[in-house]
Amino acid sequence: MAQSVVTDEMKGWLNKELNRATFDVEKVLVRRYVEAIEDPNPQWKEFMPPSMFTAIFAEGGLVQYPFKTPPKLLDGGGEWEFVKPVKIGDTITAVRKIIEYQEKEGKLGHMLFIIRETRWTNQKGELVAKNRSTSIFY
Amino acid sequence: MKKQVHFEDIEVGAEIPAIVKHPTPVQLVKFAGASEDFNPIHFDKDKALADGLPGTIVHGRLKNAFLIQLLTDWVGEKGMVKKIAIQHRGMDLPGHAIACKGKVTKKYTESGQNLIDCEVWTENEKGEKTAPATATVILPSRG
């Protein structure tokens, strides 16, 4: 087993708010997204496709960690619960924290797994979705 | 307009109507922009090779979207996807078809909701499941 890459600084971030981001669910963002995934469902003219929680509204880009991580990154998947539909025009806020680190040896070498939890609320403060995801750094 | 499926119509073991997606390098670039996932392994072959990958690979998040589309297509306007847990087990390469398939594993009513549990997955051209998932959907009753 190679030496652990989880530092005390990283441990200090466990279960604390890592960051939050507010997104306007704009018509153009949704249109570009459904064009990119090639999903012509007419519902997406009014509602946000739930998979946007697994993509753009998950991260607003890739998560930036306040500490140094190994340089290469793979998406290890995750689980999502969609609690309430989100309409185009809504504003949602994502709050994210790190809940666990794991380390494993694999075919890509020493791998660091960062497990995060995200909760999204809408402009009325209602929970609309929650998630646990794993990022794999190596 | 697609016909709405109802809770009463579904039996355990039933197959979910499959969809087949054909990701191309252009789709990966569009998805990178639309999802703001700019990890270069999805569009920069040199970087992907340098990272030890076989070439540019399909975004795990695009496969999430494919699997959720399989479900939203199936449950229709009056149904809802409640939960999905997705594992990214294998890589998919652009230029190769990805079939999204699923089957019903459980049917029950809980807190007044008509729920269906299912297994869904992406399947590559060799028949390997690259992103297995479990999901729960809500279906309307004929009432």
The full set of domain ranges for chain A reads 8-137
The full set of domain ranges for chain B reads 7-138
Domain B7-138: CATH architecture, name and number where available: Roll (3.10)
Mean pLDDT of A72-80: 84
Prediction pTM value: 0.89
The closest CB to that of A79, out of B36, B77, B84, belongs to B84
Lowest mean pLDDT among A81-85, B22-26, B34-38: B34-38
The closest CB to that of B36, out of A54, A59, A82, belongs to A59
ipTM of predicted complex = 0.94
Task: For residue range B94-142, list pLDDT tens digits in order.
Answer: 999 999 999 999 999 999 999 999 999 999 999 999 999 999 999 999 9
Rounded to whole angstroms, how far apart are CA atoms B13 and B135?
A: 14
pLDDT for residue A63: 67
CB distance from B84 to chain A under 8 Å? yes
Identify the closest residue of chain A to B42 by CA–CA distance: A74
DSSP string, A29-92: HHHHHHHHHT---GGGGTB--GGGGGTHHHHSSSPPPSS---S-EEEEEEEEEE-S--BTT-EE
The closest CB to that of B35, out of A39, A55, A76, belongs to A55
Start-to-end C-alpha separation, chain B = 21
The closest CB to that of B21, out of A38, A51, A75, belongs to A38
Q: Best residue in A26, A27, A38 to probe B by mutation, most B CBs within 10 Å?
A: A38
Residue of higher predicted confidence among B48 and B2 = B48
pLDDT for residue A2: 67
B68 and A51 within 8 Å at the Cβ level: the answer is yes
Query: Measured between alpha carbons, how far is residue A93 from residues A84, B60, B110 in Å?
Result: 14, 23, 29
pLDDT of A61 strictly over 80 = no
A55 and B131 within 8 Å at the Cβ level: the answer is no
Give the rounded percent of residues in chain A with a pLDDT score beyond 70: 93
pLDDT of B1 strictly over 60 = no
B82 and A82 within 8 Å at the Cβ level: the answer is yes
pLDDT for residue A60: 42
pLDDT for residue A58: 65
Residue of higher predicted confidence among B116 and A134 = B116
Q: Which residues, at least 6 apart from B107, have a Cβ–Cβ distance to it below 8 Å?
A: B7, B10, B11, B12, B115, B116, B117
Pick the CATH number of A8-137 from 3.40.50.1220, 3.40.50.720, 3.10.129.10, 3.40.50.10610: 3.10.129.10
